[in-house]
Structure formats: C-alpha cells, structure tokens
Amino acid sequence: MPPTDVHIKASIERTGKEYKEVHEWIDLDPEKKAERHDITKIYEYGKMFEEKYGKEGLQEYIQHIHDDVKTKFEHVQHDLEKAIAETLAYFGVK
Ligand SMILES: [Zn+2]
C-alpha cells in the first residue's frame, strides 16, 4: 500500500489540499490500521469524515481505500506472475 505521504501528494493533485489528518488517521495507528481499511466500515467512517471535512474529505477517504486496494492487487499480480514464470522455468516449460 502506498505510504501516507503518497496519499497526501495524490490528494494535493486532486483537490489542492493535503487531507493529512484523513490519511494519517487511516494509516498511522498500527493497532487500528486494518479496521480503518475495512471496506465494510466505509459508511460509518465516511459519515464521520463528511461531517468533519465535507464531501471532498469523504471522497479523499474513499479514494485512499481505493488506491490501497489497487496497489495491493498490483503487488499480488506481480508476485503471482513471477511465481508462475519461475515454476514454468523450473520444469523447463517454454
Ligand atoms: Zn492506507
């Protein structure tokens, strides 16, 4: 998943604002990090962010989760392709 400063940079590019508190809240507490990335909590946490930062802040929270999902699956895909290539090479399959 992208580090917090990558999320902040992306928010600046999209909105002109950092939304640093949003990204730090999601990422920086190791004990709550998984819970705060849980997509079943989007309604609950989304309401909280909308009340505090408006619709744009809500959207930046959702975008953070989206960007993490995308990055995580890109890593999974890369690792899987590497494992398949290594396994085929091991057995001499071309
Ligand atoms: Zn994150």
pLDDT number for residue 94: 87
Going by C-beta distance under 8 Å and a sequence separation of 6 or more, which residues neighbour residue 58?
46, 49, 50
Distance 15 CA to ligand 1 centre (A): 18
Using the Cα atoms of residue 37, residue 40, residue 41 and residue 44 in order, give the sign of their dihedral: positive
Distance 94 CA to ligand 1 centre (A): 39
Distance 66 CA to ligand 1 centre (A): 9
Please tell me the total number of residues recorded for the chain in this structure. 94
At 47-94, the pLDDT tens digits run: 999 999 999 999 999 999 999 999 999 999 999 999 999 999 999 998
Distance 54 CA to ligand 1 centre (A): 20
At 17-43, the pLDDT tens digits run: 999 999 999 999 999 999 999 999 999
Q: Are 61 and 45 in contact (CB under 8 A)?
A: yes
Q: Are 6 and 71 in contact (CB under 8 A)?
A: no
pLDDT number for residue 90: 98
Going by C-beta distance under 8 Å and a sequence separation of 6 or more, which residues neighbour residue 16?
none
* Confidence class for position 2, pLDDT limits 50, 70, 90: confident
pTM of the model: 0.89
Distance 87 CA to ligand 1 centre (A): 32
pLDDT number for residue 48: 98
Distance 63 CA to ligand 1 centre (A): 10
pLDDT number for residue 20: 97
Distance 34 CA to ligand 1 centre (A): 9
